[in-house]
Amino acid sequence: MGLAIGVGALVRFEQKNPKAAEEMRRDLAYINTVLEREGLPTHQEPESFDELEDPWPPTRASLNSFPYSWLHYLRRFAAHVIRDPRWIPYPVEPGEDPADDPVLRQLYRQLQSHLLCHSDSEGYYLPVDFDEIFFDPKHKIRGGALGSSYRLREELLLLTDPLEIEVDEEGNLDDDYAAELAAQRPTGAPFAIERLIWISLYEAARLSIEHKTAIVFF
């Protein structure tokens, strides 16, 4: 089993899994009560994407599902950069679990990073601009934490220089370069897994913001 990342999920669920669509509707209805209570805009998930190209989403990432552990490779990398932007990257040693990295565990406890402080198996990022991660004491937010697609994209862009990823001044990827990133193999080159997961999350955040659709971890 592994993590799948989707955008436009409600439309696909309606077509292929009506029960999952109903669960997502209930989740978002409750989340909107949380957002409204905090004085934030609520989120209305799109019901269709008829105006968009088919198939949808037009993602440039090669992966939309991968082993749970791969997410922790990027999180471990991000934790070190967040703690020290001058950090000289070094890869995870063979046999080590990136989820056990002490810097990553330290930053988990600070509960400030939208990239780090989110379930690695389920939950949502919404195209709503807010800084504070929402943790629900009633345990009714799937995955326990609600993140912002805007903050996720912002945090991913902090990693471009350390990961040697090229973006323009506005944080955009050239199509040809995005294809080159997505085509790399997860083994061999240093930080190959980190770069693959980076573009998967970056593309999810880009599409979420552009089309006002939730990122769903499932």
Domain count for the chain = 1
Angle of the 68-83 helix axis to the 102-110 helix axis, nearest 10? 80
pLDDT of residue 76: 98
pLDDT tens, position by position, 75-132: 999 999 999 999 999 999 999 999 999 999 999 999 999 999 999 999 999 999 999 9
Please, which pLDDT band fits residue 48 given cuts at 50, 70 and 90?
confident
Q: Per-residue pLDDT for 52 more than 70? A: no
- Contact call for residues 144 and 135 (beta carbons, < 8 A): yes
- Contact call for residues 172 and 13 (beta carbons, < 8 A): no
DSSP string computed for 97-157: -GGG-HHHHHHHHHT--TTTSS-SSSEEEES---SSPEE-TTS-STTSEEEEHHHHHHHHH
pLDDT of residue 56: 59
pLDDT of residue 187: 84
- Contact call for residues 136 and 34 (beta carbons, < 8 A): yes
pLDDT of residue 207: 95
Sign of the C-alpha dihedral computed for residues 97, 98, 99 and 102 taken in this order: positive
Closest C-alpha to 143, from 117, 123, 114, 116 = 123
- DSSP character for 215? E
Domain enclosing residue 116, as ranges: 3-217
Hey, what are 201's tokens? Answer: 């999350």
Angle of the 192-211 helix axis to the 149-157 helix axis, nearest 10? 140
pLDDT tens, position by position, 164-184: 999 999 999 999 999 999 999
pTM over 0.75: yes
Phi, psi of 73 (to 5 degrees): -60, -45
Mean pLDDT of the chain: 94
pLDDT tens, position by position, 64-86: 899 999 999 999 999 999 999 99
